[in-house]
Copies of this chain bind each other. A is one copy, B any other.
Amino acid sequence: MQLSPDTREYPDDPCSGYDYNDKTIVGFSHTHLSGTGCPDLYDFLFMPYGGDIQWQCGSDDGKTKGFRSAFRHETEKAYPGYYSVVLDDYHIKAELTATEHCGMHRYTFANTSPVHLMIDLDHSLVRNSPYRHCKIIEAQARVVDSKTIEGYRIISGWAPLRKVYFRAEFSRPFDSHAFKAGRNIFENIPVANSSNLKLVLNFDKDNSQPLLVKVGLSSVSAEGARENLKAEIKDFNFDGIVEQTNETWNKELSCVDVEGTPKQRRIFYTGLYHLFIQPNNIADVSGDYLATDNTIRHAPDGTHYSTFSLWDTYRAAHPFYTLVQQKRTAAFINSMLRQYETYGYLPIWQLWGQENYCMIGNHAIPVIVDAFFKGIPGVDYQKAYEAVKASSTTSHRNSPFNILDRYGYFPEDLQTQSVSLTLEIAYDDWCVAQMAKKLGHQDDYEFFLNRSNDYKNLFDKSIGFFRAKDSNGNWIEPFNPLKYGGNGGFPFTEGNAWQYLWYVPQDVYSFIDMMGGDKKFVDKLDTFFTLNAKPGDVNGNASGFIGQYAHGNEPSHHIVYLYDFAGEPWKAQFYSAKIQNELYTDQQSGYSGNEDCGQMSAWYLFGSMGFYPVNPANSVFCFGSPQLTKATINLANGKQFTVTTKNAGGKNIYIQSVRLNGRPYTHSYITYQDIISGGQLEFVMGKRPNKEFGTAPKDRPVSVLSY
């Protein structure tokens, strides 16, 4: 349940449905995404209003006023578990709260004139989007009694097919109602079915008391929605739910206690909130859930997680969960394994239990391999390995392994996004190899380790870039390292050759050698962060620039920390601090790009504590520039790991020295074992680089831990 306001009839961009720049609210819908770039969900828009609005103003075209109302940000209040706003056109104060499967609305009316509530089952992402066709296949609303509505819709959008059921209960009866089914208006009938369905409830009587609505959702059935509501919201105690949900969130967010400036704390905890609002449990309280094969199945642990934006979140969001939310990490993986069972391979991008094939790679693999090496309990790792291997050998439309196995790279004439794909699958293959080795599958180990070197086949040493080849083995001309690709039709995915140059997180030292050694590597990195030339066709996901570095999209996220590997860690410190201080704010536009289901936040969460997982599956965290005075991580195992930063702030962005558990520490990285064992990491900062710290080869980040 993600109950929140929508400012557009048919939201597209922003994908959350709410644009801070908009002046009107069209209603409150119950499901939303956080910074995914692609829009979907927005199920069951509720909008209270006063006076007589004709249905014909229902603004199917998004241009006429319809039921929308002006609002002002001054009247808004929002914190975890609570949102309120005044709908100025109607003098209605709307308040929202939520539990896991249910939402609650409280509408308070300034006067006692007749009021109405519109329920829009047609509200959805923009139709005929350039990227996806949105079609409501069927919707139903049913008047169970004068205080209860049930309904559902079946919709094909970004998720290929979603079924969403709801039950809404009202604190007092409505006197009459009308459906709008397509162009027809039907008054006071008990049920309506239509692919374009709205419903207005008329509350004509005493409006001196607030109207409360509790809403249960289910992806299984109306019965499921009913049971979810019964389990989670028993009566109309709105304030009680707010308090309970706020308490739940406080508990969730207390996994890290941080000290720093008020602004830093706001950014940190907002980020932590963003990190935790997905993946989402789509199972009913009963544990029943909608499987990828469109059957209803049962999750023994009662949870089935979805909203896996893995191309983004495997980088830092999932590693963060392994520190503070290990039970959830196991539940995420078990949910992914359920896709493997019915679908044949692990999620690429899973929404509402459905694969949508957004982005590239098979990055459920690093999530699983990381959890395996960290020994996170609650997962059958034999079965997980089976899934990991199947996901690396079963060709599908995003990963035609048959082509890779034949050519040793993806030829762009046979498979678009070929360079990005070759690089990212090389990383996944390295992960599979490590797990295979540990489990004693020597043949698999050799096969995948060998294939993980395929990226080298696309490195053009003469120019020092990865670039595309065709199926005859020829470099594709012309080559312009500044030129951007989108999501197909070009060798690079949402980026250019400059940004993908750095994508060898599994084998940085070999890569440095390929580049000609530390010096040449660092020179190229320096150029990367300072080359301001921009071609005309920058991709929409490219933003937050520092030279060619684009913090607004994920391919750049690990790059600053590569300086640690080449012996100039102070430059990692410099750019990490710069990004924290310049590209994160506590204002409404707090990020330089899409939030991407927590990844943009996770970057900051790690960065502000001073370390970041360049290779998200090798348990190594590379040092950057800690900006928080203190951070105490309340670890999943009950222990605490405390990071303190002496002289933090201002120009003191450089590490002078480090102590771990009271003893001097010379490495420019720390391991998962160091953290999870509990202890104290103390940074001493200064305004000039300490070029002695972390530069010796023995102090640089290890590439592969000896497991």
| Chain A residues engaging chain B, CB cutoff 8 angstroms | 135, 137-138, 140, 142, 152, 154, 156, 160-161, 163, 165, 181-182, 184-187, 189-195, 220-223, 293-296, 343-345, 355, 390, 393-397, 400, 402
Does A295 lie within 8 Å of B137, measured CB to CB?
no
Does B343 lie within 8 Å of A186, measured CB to CB?
no
Q: In the docked arrangement, what's the CA distance between A293 and B186, Å?
A: 21
The contact of A156 among B137, B152, B294, by CB within 8 Å, is B137
Does A397 lie within 8 Å of B344, measured CB to CB?
no
CB distance from A130 to the nearest CB of B (A): 18
List the 6 closest pairs (A to B, CB-CB), nearest first.
A191-B344, A186-B395, A221-B295, A189-B394, A137-B161, A137-B160
Does B160 lie within 8 Å of A138, measured CB to CB?
yes
Does A193 lie within 8 Å of B137, measured CB to CB?
no
Does B181 lie within 8 Å of A397, measured CB to CB?
yes
The contact of A222 among B194, B293, B296, by CB within 8 Å, is B293
The contact of A161 among B154, B184, B402, by CB within 8 Å, is B154
Does A182 lie within 8 Å of B142, measured CB to CB?
no
Give 19 A-B contacts (CB < 8 Å), ordered by A residue: A135-B156, A137-B161, A138-B294, A156-B156, A160-B195, A163-B294, A181-B396, A181-B397, A184-B395, A184-B400, A185-B402, A186-B396, A186-B402, A190-B394, A192-B395, A193-B343, A193-B344, A193-B396, A296-B296
Does B137 lie within 8 Å of A397, measured CB to CB?
no
**Set of chain B residues within 8 Å of A181, measured between Cβ atoms:** 396-397
CB distance from A486 to the nearest CB of B (A): 19
CB distance from A136 to the nearest CB of B (A): 10
Considering the complex, give the chain B residue whose CB is closest to the CB of A343: B193
Q: How many copies does the complex hold?
A: 2
Known interface pairs A184-B400, A295-B296; 8 further A-B residue pairs with C-beta atoms within 8 A, sorted by A's residue number = A138-B161, A140-B293, A140-B343, A142-B344, A161-B161, A181-B396, A189-B395, A193-B344
Does A344 lie within 8 Å of B190, measured CB to CB?
yes
The contact of A192 among B182, B393, B396, by CB within 8 Å, is B396
Considering the complex, give the chain B residue whose CB is closest to the CB of A415: B184
Q: In the docked arrangement, what's the CA distance between A152 and B222, Å?
A: 25
Q: In the docked arrangement, what's the CA distance between A397 and B138, Å?
A: 13
Does A393 lie within 8 Å of B189, measured CB to CB?
yes
**Set of chain B residues within 8 Å of A161, measured between Cβ atoms:** 137-138, 154, 161
Q: In the docked arrangement, what's the CA distance between A402 and B191, Å?
A: 14
CB distance from A540 to the nearest CB of B (A): 26
**Set of chain B residues within 8 Å of A187, measured between Cβ atoms:** 402
**Set of chain B residues within 8 Å of A294, measured between Cβ atoms:** 138, 152, 154, 163
**Set of chain B residues within 8 Å of A355, measured between Cβ atoms:** 193
Considering the complex, give the chain B residue whose CB is closest to the CB of A187: B402
The contact of A152 among B140, B160, B293, B390, by CB within 8 Å, is B293
**Set of chain B residues within 8 Å of A195, measured between Cβ atoms:** 160
Considering the complex, give the chain B residue whose CB is closest to the CB of A138: B160
Q: In the docked arrangement, what's the CA distance between A184 and B156, Å?
A: 24
Q: In the docked arrangement, what's the CA distance between A372 and B343, Å?
A: 48
Q: In the docked arrangement, what's the CA distance between A270 and B57, Å?
A: 56
Does B194 lie within 8 Å of A397, measured CB to CB?
yes
CB distance from A143 to the nearest CB of B (A): 10
Q: In the docked arrangement, what's the CA distance between A193 and B400, Å?
A: 13
**Set of chain B residues within 8 Å of A397, measured between Cβ atoms:** 181-182, 184, 194
Considering the complex, give the chain B residue whose CB is closest to the CB of A222: B293
**Set of chain B residues within 8 Å of A165, measured between Cβ atoms:** 293
Q: In the docked arrangement, what's the CA distance between A209 and B97, Å?
A: 68
CB distance from A400 to the nearest CB of B (A): 6
Considering the complex, give the chain B residue whose CB is closest to the CB of A140: B293
**Set of chain B residues within 8 Å of A395, measured between Cβ atoms:** 184, 186, 189, 192
**Set of chain B residues within 8 Å of A154, measured between Cβ atoms:** 160-161, 294
**Set of chain B residues within 8 Å of A160, measured between Cβ atoms:** 137-138, 154, 195
CB distance from A158 to the nearest CB of B (A): 13
**Set of chain B residues within 8 Å of A293, measured between Cβ atoms:** 140, 152, 165, 221-222
Q: In the docked arrangement, what's the CA distance between A142 and B395, Å?
A: 13
CB distance from A417 to the nearest CB of B (A): 14
Considering the complex, give the chain B residue whose CB is closest to the CB of A188: B402
**Set of chain B residues within 8 Å of A345, measured between Cβ atoms:** 191
The contact of A390 among B140, B190, B296, B394, by CB within 8 Å, is B190
Q: In the docked arrangement, what's the CA distance between A101 and B613, Å?
A: 54
CB distance from A192 to the nearest CB of B (A): 7
CB distance from A425 to the nearest CB of B (A): 16
Q: In the docked arrangement, what's the CA distance between A152 and B394, Å?
A: 18
CB distance from A68 to the nearest CB of B (A): 27
Q: In the docked arrangement, what's the CA distance between A220 and B190, Å?
A: 29
CB distance from A191 to the nearest CB of B (A): 3
Considering the complex, give the chain B residue whose CB is closest to the CB of A152: B293
- Take A154-B161, A181-B396, A187-B402 as given contacts and tell me if A220 and B344 are in contact as well, using a CB distance cutoff of 8 Å: no
Q: In the docked arrangement, what's the CA distance between A194 and B191, Å?
A: 36
**Set of chain B residues within 8 Å of A184, measured between Cβ atoms:** 395, 397, 400
Q: In the docked arrangement, what's the CA distance between A221 and B192, Å?
A: 28
Of A192, A195, A293, most B-chain CB atoms within 10 Å: A293
Q: In the docked arrangement, what's the CA distance between A390 and B295, Å?
A: 31
Q: In the docked arrangement, what's the CA distance between A693 and B296, Å?
A: 64
Q: In the docked arrangement, what's the CA distance between A567 and B400, Å?
A: 77
Considering the complex, give the chain B residue whose CB is closest to the CB of A395: B186
CB distance from A353 to the nearest CB of B (A): 12
**Set of chain B residues within 8 Å of A396, measured between Cβ atoms:** 181, 186, 192-193
Q: In the docked arrangement, what's the CA distance between A191 and B222, Å?
A: 33
Considering the complex, give the chain B residue whose CB is closest to the CB of A220: B295
**Set of chain B residues within 8 Å of A185, measured between Cβ atoms:** 402
